[in-house]
Structure 1
């Protein structure tokens, strides 16, 4: 191999996949040894994290992925995918359009919550109590924004996904499969947000899955990446359903409803 050939080969050097004529290896394992033997959730872990997850890790990751799959057309990412597919765009474009709507506000709270939980864990390691750490962090967030990532929901008084997810984490803590520090931190945040005279602000799906991703030892950015992977399933399902409706150029409002006109500043 010449120097220029070697430089080209190193340009996208990767430890994830090796290909050669008639050969595909993922992390050193021939693909034919994975097909039919490895579940999709295990494959996600294998490809993204590396190694084989334990049964408990697989169960927790699968639960988080299932829970975040969809929240209906009220979610902007779903509505955008449904509108896009009625414009004659293929499923790939519709799914991409929906995924591209997932940003810091819609889709990013899980990552932000993991960072917040990690902050609380670090403060407790330095000698603070869980409750003192949680109150201090909540106050810091409230000075910047009315929202604390991972807590409260614009639609659900209590997110129906919270309890089953935290129940699975509690079981994993009791069996010694995960440490439980992220769960402790999240519960402390709920207590900090449940103050006299105020409406309680329980954990939402972002907070509950942040607990799982934190307990699994995954870096905060992967909480967002895995949420995108999960929500892509719901986006695909809705785009496919809308495509079969035969409706063309479906906008965000029925045709009989026109947006209100709001006069702007007079020109010039």
Structure 2
């Protein structure tokens, strides 16, 4: 007798008459009753978020949705200009650029804060922040921004929302402390950037730190889709290509 195959999942299943998602009837229990951000949190955390958690989480998604002509947006636009029949390819091109300088900072910061909190017996947050900055190897994630040199406008707003909803936890406290102590150690003052504060806020919501980049990509997918919709109307990607191509300067290689 052949062995019966089984592939367990707690996400979703469907049959001829019904779609089940997270143990709920998708059509009867979720559609029109659950927001997309709330559902995204639920899918990853395996539990339905409270209204306060949903507000903080959706504020993060809004904060990360778009930041202008970043490399991710340019990659999406130029790819769409090259292959307008492949919207999915253009969207994917933009998402693939989410790394250590753009988008990935959310996860990098959350992980840095999480590791600092869990690998030290220093209880005072100022002392812990000082130790973290002084012993960090390389760039400290969440510090600095290529455009916002004094203050990232997203940072104080998200911190305020987290405090209002009762989710200002150890990661955000440590992140703010790093903002206070680093000038004396590094000899310069850098702003706490929006991607970093998003990582701290997500970690304080109890979401796994190794999944935080996924939330940044989820948010940026909406922004990229907006860029592609605009690209359809303006054709700016072709102009970006022509500008670079016309100004390319050939440099002969060495023998």
The TM-score normalised by the length of structure 1 is 0.86
Relative to structure 1, the CA distance from residue 82 to residue 60 in structure 2 (aligned partners, 3 Å threshold; closer, same or farther) is same
Q: Give the secondary-structure state (helix, strand or coil) at the position aligned to 1:116.
A: helix
Point out 4+ residue stretches in structure 1 off by more than 6 angstroms: none
Q: Which one has the bigger helix percentage?
A: 2
Structure 1 residues 1-268: aligned runs within 5 Å:
3-4=2-3, 6-7=4-5, 9-10=6-7, 13-32=8-27, 33-73=29-69, 75-89=70-84, 90-123=86-119, 126-141=121-136, 144-145=137-138, 147-157=139-149, 158-172=151-165, 177-178=166-167, 180-195=169-184, 198-246=187-235, 249-252=238-241, 254=243, 257-266=246-255
Shift of 1:198: 3.1
| Aligned mates of 2:191, 2:253 — CA distance in 1 | 40
Is contact 2:143–2:191 with CA below 8 Å preserved after alignment?
yes
Shift of 1:65: 0.3
Relative to structure 1, the CA distance from residue 130 to residue 20 in structure 2 (aligned partners, 3 Å threshold; closer, same or farther) is same
Shift of 1:92: 1.3
**Cα root mean square deviation, aligned:** 2.2
Shift of 1:40: 1.2
| Aligned mates of 2:128, 2:95 — CA distance in 1 | 34
Shift of 1:121: 2.1
Q: Deviations over 1:138-193 (max 9, x none)?
A: 2333xx32x21111101111111111111112223xxxx33621121111111222
Task: List runs of 5+ in structure 2 lacking aligned partners.
Answer: none
Q: Give the secondary-structure state (helix, strand or coil) at the position aligned to 2:243.
A: coil
Is contact 1:179–1:215 with CA below 8 Å preserved after alignment?
yes
Is contact 2:61–2:219 with CA below 8 Å preserved after alignment?
yes
Is contact 2:144–2:191 with CA below 8 Å preserved after alignment?
yes
Is contact 1:86–1:250 with CA below 8 Å preserved after alignment?
no
Relative to structure 1, the CA distance from residue 119 to residue 247 in structure 2 (aligned partners, 3 Å threshold; closer, same or farther) is closer
Q: Deviations over 1:38-79 (max 9, x none)?
A: 111111122221222111000000100001100111x11000
| Aligned mates of 1:127, 1:196 — CA distance in 2 | 18
| Aligned mates of 1:197, 1:59 — CA distance in 2 | 35
Count how many residue pairs are aligned between Structure 1 and Structure 2.
Answer: 252
Shift of 1:98: 0.5
The TM-score normalised by the length of structure 2 is 0.90
Q: Deviations over 1:181-228 (max 9, x none)?
A: 112111111122222783311210121101210110111122111000
Is contact 2:122–2:128 with CA below 8 Å preserved after alignment?
no
